[in-house]
A and B are shown apart, each in its own frame.
Chain A
Amino acid sequence: FQQASISSSSSSSTELDSTKDVGNRKEGKMQRTPQESAEGRTPPEHGLRQKDLRRRPPGQHQGQEPPGRGLRVVPHEYMLSIYKTYSIAEKLGINASFFQSSKSANTITSFVDRGLDDLSHTPLRRQKYLFDVSTLSDKEELVGAELRLYRQAPPTPWGLPARPLHLQLFPCLSPLLLDARTLDPQGPTQAGWEVFDVWQGLRPQPWKQLCLELRAAWGELDAGDTGARARGPQQPPPLDLRSLGFGRRVRPPQERALLVVFTRSQRKNLFTEMHEQLGSAEAAGAEGSWPAPSGSPDAGSWLPSPGRRRRR
């Protein structure tokens, strides 16, 4: 009912190569048509309901479709990189949580920005990034969070004055500065990721939505910059985040802003996790939503009836 795919350029490892066919795999014994595969749709066929029961991810209840149903879920390069690095380390006997980059987390969740650009032509001085973080559990310890913004290469030369340029990140409608970066308008104009620490912004859990705001502001000239001062007081031009490479229009998925949340779960038991997911499904009146093996004779009746469970 939903697809995961890894872009062809994403991996050279054998393991990940084997996952590339997820995007155009067979559904049961029925081969998808190329169009169906490309659009990520499930072909209309008998047994769809049963298949939904079997193949629903843990915690996803019947009738609760994912927001992007039908859309292809493309793992971000950064997440693929994390997986590759840590799984290789594991095979070498190194615990991934020892890596400094992992912040000793055992779970790393990525959230893609859902915000849209302001279509007006006025300079964009503030940009809001929106994330649906409702799947984060407050039972897990939050050990880190970072906002990764891809800055496209601005047109050269910038033509901006020689004074520092500050990028600041705030929670929306809040004066709390989460993190800041200083750009050199006269420096190299390479594209790349700007990473902001937003842990403080996520700490008062639980969150449903997280809104972060990027602001740009001119800094003061250094006292030693006599050349610039000698040219007299000059009003810097209004800043536009689009011209700095932060516009969101016409941006490939791999360049969209990414919120990466690092958590540490004390739960070690997959069965406990399954049981909790199943419990929440039952609470929502969707008993039987845990996926049974696809080869099971009757996935619909995979779970015992309430009477059988009582006896058990």
Chain B
Amino acid sequence: TAFASRHGKRHGKKSRLRCSRKPLHVNFKELGWDDWIIAPLEYEAYHCEGVCDFPLRSHLEPTNHAIIQTLMNSMDPGSTPPSCCVPTKLTPISILYIDAGNNVVYKQYEDMVVESCGCR
């Protein structure tokens, strides 16, 4: 929805970017979390952006539901929104931080980096 509102007034194929992975650089220092996160202070998280319109490409690994929803959207955009461009594979990152007791902790946080995007 956000994508549509931002780009809704634009027309033409160039503005209708296909669902794909885009950079999202996270800087914990800018978030104000560097008081408790020791490392890393920044990392590349990526994000998914773009439209899932008909016909869906196979590399987007659409679910059956997404295929049906996309088909219905293509037939009647007013009745059904397009399927969503979302992360389909995420990987963890290691974080070294200081906990509430001032202990240094290593933790592997799951699902922190987008590896691939798809339509769901």
Binding site for B on A (CB under 8 A): 1-4, 6, 15-16, 18-19, 22, 25, 54-55, 57-60, 64, 66-68, 71, 73, 75-76, 79-80, 82-83, 86-87, 90, 95-97, 106-112, 132, 134-135, 265, 268-270, 291-295
Contact = CB atoms under 8 A, between A and B. Distances in A.
A268 B111 contact: yes
A14 B96 CA distance: 15
B54 interface: no
A295 B33 CA distance: 12
B108 A106 contact: yes
B100 A19 contact: no
Nearest to A112: B103
A72 to B, nearest CB: 10
SS of B interface (majority) = strand
B92 A135 contact: no
B2 interface: no
B94 A107 contact: no
Given A15-B40, A83-B39, A109-B103, A4 B108 contact: no
B92 to A, nearest CB: 7
Contact of B98 (A18, A57, A269): A57
Contacts of A135: 99-101, 103
Interface string B95-116: 0111111111111111110000
Contacts of A16: 39
A16 B96 CA distance: 10
A101 to B, nearest CB: 12
B86 to A, nearest CB: 16
Closest A-B pairs by Cβ, 8 of them: A294-B32, A57-B36, A60-B100, A135-B101, A268-B110, A87-B94, A83-B96, A106-B108
B114 to A, nearest CB: 14
A87 B103 contact: no
A63 B86 CA distance: 40
